[in-house]
Amino acid sequence: MAGLVNNLLILFLVFQNNCLGFRSPLSVFKRYKDATRSLSSECLGSDRPVISLGLSDFALDIRMPGVTPKQSDTYLCMSVPLPVDDEAYVVDFKPHASMDTVHHMLLFGCNEPSSTENYWDCDEGTCKDKSNILYAWARNAPPTRLPKGVGFRVGGETGGKFFVLQVHYGDISAFRDKHKDCSGVTLHLTHQKQPLIAGMYLMMSVNTVIPPGEKVVDADIACHYKRFPMHLFAYRVHTHRLGKVVSGYRVRNGQWTLIGRQSPQLPQAFYPVEHPVDVSYDDILAARCVFSGEGRTTETHIGGTANDEMCNFYIMYYMEAKHAVSYMTCTQNANPEMFRNIPQEANIPIPIKPDMLKMTHGHHEETKDTDKSSLQLSKGEEGEILDQDFHIEEAVEWPGLDLKLGQVSGLALDLENNLVVFHRGDHVWDENSFDSKFVYQQRGLGPIEQNTILVLNPSTAKLLHSTGKSLFYLPHGLSIDKNGNYWVTDVALHQVFKLGADAKEPLLTLGVALQPGSDKNHFCQPTDVAVDPISGSVYVSDGYCNSRIIQFSPNGLYIMQWGEETSSGRPGQFHIPHSLALIPDFSQLCVADRENGRIQCFRLGTGEFIREIKHKSFGRELFAVSYVPGGLLFAVNGMPYPGEAEPVQGFVMNFSTGEIIDTFIPLRKSFEMPHDIVASEDKTVFVGDVHARTVWKFASTEKMEHRSVKKAGIEVQEIKESETVVEARLKNNPEPTDPLKKQEKQHLVRQASTGVSFVLITTLLIIPVVVLLAILVFIRWRKTTVYGGKGGGGLNLGNFFASHKGYSRKGFDRLSTEGSDQEKDEDDGTDSEEEYSPPPPPPAPSSS
């Protein structure tokens, strides 16, 4: 009897949801909110997670198992297996949560959760394999029901076997009474085959910065769609407190079609797309979030805590089953210029009634007056995405050039922006290191007895911390993940290691020690590692003898690989993939394809080839690549082959266009074999050299606070806090994209700088002359008055200055920075790393 009552109750709720359909969530929100509040703390249904709803349908209750978060901004995860083996379809979601206790919830589908515990800290990950977002909830949003004939496919051969619930507990003040939380979601599933498969398309900004007090800040996202047609039926917006309005569009042939527009301060439900929108191949999906930094005293960044911000636009779509893709993302802005034509509505906040705002934020928050007026728009047009008017030069005051290091193979910046150096101590890579089968031949030397990982102050080069003693034989690549862990490769051990910043033993080891191979469990001289900050996926470039990229889960499980060896330059093939740069802004992984002298970029998660960046000035070899959020790509090339002219140097590129913005070389010593490069957002660049055994620091001229005046082909720098005008090394800079605009800008800078310099120097010269003349006039007047007006002769200024003790003209001469410190140390010749390129082909024999 009790089972019958339960079944009738569930059927009634499903019928009620069906009747509500896709009417505006605001119209049903008040009726739903009372039920949400009572359900959020009572764990209803947790003792019966699966409830039959007839012959083919059932309900699955997914709830937190009575948890009490200990600190704010805690992310907790739990998993529930799909209770059936065959294919099923999720057609309805019913949340059980209140924003009094829960900031937001996400439901993922996957095949293997990151933990088998009852629940776990989500910092360990959500899933070991690829995960798909099925549902998202925040701000007391009401239920979501899919259109008839549409469902999320789960189970069977292609669908996920587990559901993972992630709950973000923002402010834990509601847990002062130590009560246990059982928030979650109930799914309605059916075995009836659905002709249309639902999926989620997530548009997300990853690099927006909101300055304090700034009234209007736009975060724009845009991607080209390159798949089979999809039909959009629901959308959801998500920001934190600074978000004013979020809008999404399809752009086709320059025409903007609204997908949805909503205030993120209203219940963050999936709202229906009012007019059906289809998306076809080569359409553009675009979204804008409008923020206000008013009331903040510090910069606000994109992040996971309640004090950070987010800019998310979720789209629910359906596709024909045979072409269905369950999850897609867009995190880039493929065409910033197009947002000049975005409809004006995208910049106007949606008014919120005070009572609705109070209900949305929960009973414990104060009601605030809502500003119904639109935000003031920027009067000027949007600026360029990159400020390309800068130049990279060596920071000659940095003392790191004098550090006693072994062969420097890897560089990275830690979470505090300290420089981390990976070097080989007293070991070297030479012609005796490996046999013809890539087996290391110098095991008798033992591991390196020095600390191989050094943490340096980026300004003073002072050693802050060191580790890595007795762990490695021939270090190579280094990267640091979002949690501060070190990921390193050792070409002698043929292994990849994950190390804690203070750990003496690896947290994770991939590969078999001293055994080269080409299967899923072996590497052959792996070169570098990159870790996706969003998914936690690990990418390894492998390497000198395998020429492939391998993707692993956060826990080190093999997922996929791509690439093979080539010297013909075909896309997706490599000749020593030597360095990796992860581009989270664009969901791409870029590879320095060393012996092919190019950069190749691929789609994260799929390995799909996107594009190649190659320039004649790279020469035959490109050793390393690094990316800076905001769109700058840095790289270093190798020494030219005999008879070739391309110099070894560093490059700064616009990632979006691939254009070279600037090149740079050291002023002290010279590049010999620059092996790795790392750059920070303020355009500070570090380059490590295996042959020179040193690390150079470079900085933009903006950071060095100087102006450049180009005159007669010589760059004259007027440096602040210095009265010396220094002549820098002459260097050929690449031509700008728009020569006319660049020339106009340089002409204006030249006029302004020359004018300022002329006025300043003239003023400094005239003032003492005027003072001296005044003194002379006064003395002459006194003599005339006292002695009857007889003059004492004229004044020769040249003789006056020349007779003055200590006078020198050197204060007005340019001083050369060229010096003998560029001479190469003869001893370095014995420490050449055997990472050399294959020698150039010999000349063809004479036919005679």
What is the DSSP pairing of strand 463-467 with strand 453-456? antiparallel
Beta strand 196-204 with 327-330 is parallel
Q: Which pair of structure tokens corresponds to residue 57? A: 């349908």
Whether the CB-CB separation of 43 and 97 falls below 8 Å is answered with no
Catalytic residue among 96, 103, 494, 691, which? 103
Contact 538, 556 (CB under 8 A): yes
What is the CA angle 555-604-548, rounded to 5?
75
What are the φ/ψ torsions at residue 358 (nearest 5 degrees)? -65, -45
| CB count in 10 Å sphere of residue 243 | 23
Supply 698's token pair: 């470079």
Backbone angles phi, psi at 451, to 5 degrees: -70, 120
Distance separating alpha carbons of residues 432 and 441, to the nearest angstrom:
7
Is residue 240 among the annotated active site residues?
yes
Q: What CA–CA distance (Å, rounded) separates 509 from 521?
A: 11
Q: Which of 96, 240, 361, 578 is catalytic?
A: 240
DSSP characters over 582-612: EETTTTEEEEEEGGGTEEEEEETTT--EEEE
Residues 590, 633: contact at Cβ < 8 Å? yes
At 710, which helix (H) or strand (E)? strand 706-711
Q: What does the block give as tokens for 344?
A: 């004006």
List the catalytic residue out of 64, 78, 105, 166. 166
Q: Is-catalytic flag, 103?
A: yes
User: Which residue type does 308 have?
Assistant: D
Among 78, 105, 203, 238, which one carries the catalytic annotation?
Answer: 238
The count of C-alpha atoms lying within 13 angstroms of the C-alpha of 636, restricted to the half-sphere facing its C-beta, is 28
| Maximum pairwise Cα distance, the chain | 134
Concerning whether 822 is annotated as a catalytic residue, the answer is no
Give 356-406 as a 3 state SS string: HHHHHHCCCCCCCCCCCCCCCCCCCCCCCCCCCCCCEEECCCCHHHHCCCC
Give yes or no: 675 in active site. no
Catalytic: which of 310, 316, 328, 673? 310
> Which one of the listed residues 168, 361, 391, 575 is annotated catalytic?
168
The two tokens of residue 345 are: 């509505």
Say what the alpha-carbon torsion angle 799, 801, 806, 811 is, to the nearest 10 degrees. Answer: -130
d(CA 441, CA 435): 7
- Regarding beta strands 150-154 and 196-204, do their DSSP bridges make them parallel or antiparallel, or are they unpaired? parallel
Give kind and range of the element (H or E) at residue 771: helix 739-787
Q: Nearest 5 degrees, angle CA 538-CA 539-CA 545?
A: 140
Please confirm, yes or no, whether 166 is among the known catalytic residues: yes
Per DSSP bridges, beta strands 622-628 and 706-711 are unpaired
Tell me whether residue 310 is one of the annotated catalytic residues: yes
3-state secondary structure of 723: coil
Query: Are the CB atoms for 459 and 400 separated by under 8 Å?
Result: no
Task: Please list, in sequence order, all residues whose beta carbon lies within 8 angstroms of the beta carbon of residue 698, skipping any fewer than 6 positions away.
Answer: 392, 393, 394, 395, 650, 664, 684, 685, 686, 687
Contact 236, 137 (CB under 8 A): no
Nearest-angstrom CA–CA distance, 244 and 2: 48
List the catalytic residues: 103-104, 166, 168, 238, 240, 310
